Structure 1
């Protein structure tokens, strides 16, 4: 589209278009290209500059040239040095001479290449240095295993390279804590056992927030039999006590009185009919339960751990309707790792939590856990994150760094640059005055032009 617009502009001119390489157009790309300077290039460059200044008759003085350089070997230099010391590289060189290694080549300096990729010897420290540079440096920002492999395979090669990259990424602690999961929830559906008789197992729920009656009732206690789906609705008050005025008795469902003139028969036939009805209901419940389990398991995946494994625990950051603004994606989604002390059921585990998480129940569903493949020697301090008993933590504003106003057609909107708890000043976000007053009343100063 851009070229078409240029054609419409230059179609009225008589001209010839010649291609000029981008790297040759140093004037246009001078600011966008990285400068490379070393001792070898510095001296000729200084002479050229002095000669150009003499051409324009600008006075120059002979000065002493001083250089302060810290020379560190690059990764390429480290790989070349490691090739000379690795005995496995000598075997590959012999294969090249015998024309058995067609994919490997040697350049004029004796450096071994696999096609156009530098061969990395079996030096685990050197490979880890390459992986750290491609994953944890400032310019890479923790890419995934596929993206990281596509980047590294353009420059380097070693055996089982993709497998080592996948293992390295899977053990990254930062990726485990921060990155979102795109997998199905763990843990298959565990349906409840079908009761053998009515009112053996019940479901209970409360309907609250209703208008208060003359007797003071404002809620309804709903009790449902899991077997027959019969329901009882009892009026109650929203008052919780250690004891309850209601007592449950097994197999004590009330009997309906028969109307006058009806004949009720008791005997073996009635018992047989009741047993047949119970079996019929149980078969229907089993069929429906199996069908619903198959539907649910399509959206789940099997996941299990062993006693002694270390796992991460999922937490939910909360800040109104935001997840900490733009940088909310960097908020931790998991904390830990914590050790599994007991398997409480097919999909439930008990964790060994630190003292500052004593208010949190220590038994969790498997869908809230993620396996830790490598336990760090230095544990990450999570005591600064105030985790609530429901596994949520809320970012609270602690400081106003700056403020500004933005005018619209009808009014003026005040913005405040806010620093949040558990975050540095570099992660501060701009929030509107209306949002801060609604979500955090009393935080803003009395006058809008004061800030810390």
Structure 2
């Protein structure tokens, strides 16, 4: 009975639109490990901060995927793609050059024509994570949380002056050892950690660096090799740990799927608890990778058509179900022998029609 109920529920239209939730579909697939610092970067924003006297209410967070070095740049939520590009060139390109790849979410600033055209002309490749599933850009989300902790520690009661302490927060973050690399971003990029007030105290020096250029270059190359090996090994550990409770689900182009209507992605009309949780079925237009698919979504939704596989579930038509819930093998015309059950000894019921008087019969 359990398997029959499951089969019927999987094909029930009402059950899908009313009870759809996130699934554990989609394995953890980390991005390829970069070859060196500032070749591959990720970009995100921290919003919702108090507006300062300099009219800043957001932070643009730029993280190098190899060294984990980050830059925290104050900005405003109203900045468009052109202003964000100018800010990136002023603060990042002048220090580290043009990146090979740039990973971000699907913010309207990043999917517009100007942003795509700019980086295409420069030869950089844009990588986008699926909405509300930052599996490919998890390090920027972790950096955002670290930045929030640093600001809460440094700001104190002066909450409208958080932009003045961003340089201190950035220095503290880049001076600290990262869990994935085991080293600080400063050490990976420059071969040594910068001095702090404690380092300038009259204490005996612990580390000595050779002034020879070739020895210094070999030292930095060795550091980069160690960092790359450590990131690769940590990715394998993270992947094994995350995939313990996940399953691999793959759709093909042309498959019909249900989509999950989450409140974060579909804010309009999702306030009521009685609204449907799913919609569909819709056709899969393109398989971007194992975790991201482009769906033939109606235009009235006005959201990105790229979905994470956790927000998709297969559509199972009732026509391919060998068991039809509307019929039963025990009804008239059913074949008990075909159903595999033993009909048992036949019992002939007495004909009661002769014993029941007709309403037209009158007593003599």
Relative to the length of structure 1, the TM-score reads 0.39
Larger Rg: 1
Question: Could you say which structure has the higher strand fraction?
Answer: 1
